[in-house]
Structure 1
């Protein structure tokens, strides 16, 4: 069977059709890349600057860190996660970076300079100093269904954490995200543990 040659008009129509298909594929790919970029930046690229020494030595004053806002939308905060929390209900309320020590339903107590969760001593690998001030946790604090107990890593020089009534117990809505990476200064670039 012999193939009938295409006319100039048909060839031009075929060429335009192929160009439109390629342009559509290119635009679809570009749209996907832009959407993924926006998703990554909005979920993993939220930057915040550390403005105190409360998380020493893990984080230092003027470290720039990235927050993962999405991880707690699909899962729950875990013990020892370093998180950014908003104290207050306004968008302008202060934001602190602290470490989660107690989880919902647990009882946190600080006695003899050590942290106990449900009467079991918790090993604090980020600081081995004896805790000098137990604050409200001296008698034990039982957390509700959606509550977390947070602590500064430099707990003897800073007390702006759940030991104070002014900060208190944190609920999940106050947690802005997990601090996962130091991006500046470059000499401290790395993951946060």
Structure 2
């Protein structure tokens, strides 16, 4: 009688652990798929805002409720390499015209007032001519303009809304830089 009670207790405990493990797996899947994701900065294209090997959490939920805004730092997949994500800053919004003239960005014919980075762009790329963004298109640039593959490069081009994974939210590594990402 005592052994049978012991077996039921062990099976009940095992079932409880399996149920808990299933809950954790389902909860983790929902969080990673719909709410947030970790990504790592690879390269120098976002310096002096983000640095090589910084680890970030990406907010995947905000854009389900609102439109992306100018100057937000976004994450999107690179179309020519699987499991590769780019991290860039939104510069041009849907319906606007974008052009780079003498190293400066112009939006709808007006020079953009930017508060990060000090260097002039040496290569305007496809933005040397006026680009008209569609109703769901964004023009993105790296903060380190002369060392960034971004919307000026035809291999990246303009980014469609549906391709935005989310916005950079929190830097989690290195620990001495831990904190919310500033979107200026």
Q: TM-score, normalised on structure 2?
A: 0.79
Name the structure 2 match of 1:14: none
Q: Deviation digits for residues 21-40 of structure 1, max 9, x if unmatched?
A: xxxxxxxxx9xxx8988765
Write the distance in 1 (CA, Å) between the matches of 2:83 and 2:39. Answer: 14
Asked if the contact 2:120–2:145 (Cα under 8 Å) also holds between the matched residues in 1, the reply is no
Q: Could you tell me which runs of 5 or more consecutive residues in structure 2 were left unpaired when the two chains were aligned.
A: 1-19
Report what 1:155 is aligned to: 145
Aligned to 2:128: 138
Match of 1:10 in 2: none
1:62-106 CA-to-partner distances (Å, cap 9, x unmatched) read: 00000010111111111001000112288x252100000000000
Aligned residues: 160
Measure, in 1, the Cα distance between the counterparts of 2:117 and 2:34.
30
RMSD (CA atoms):
2.2
Q: What is the TM-score of this pair, normalised by structure 1? A: 0.76
2:97 to 107, 114, 122: 107
Structure-1 residue corresponding to 2:75? 84
Shift of 1:129: 1.6
User: For 2:86, what is the secondary structure of its paired residue?
Assistant: strand
- Correspondences of 1:21-100 after superposition (within 5 Å): 42-88=33-79, 92-100=82-90
Query: Which 4+ runs in 1 deviate beyond 6 A?
Result: 34-38
- The secondary structure found in structure 1 opposite 2:39 is strand
Max radius of gyration: which structure?
1
1:38, 1:93 → 2: CA distance?
A: 17
1:118 and 2:83 matched: no
Gaps of 5+ in 1: 1-29
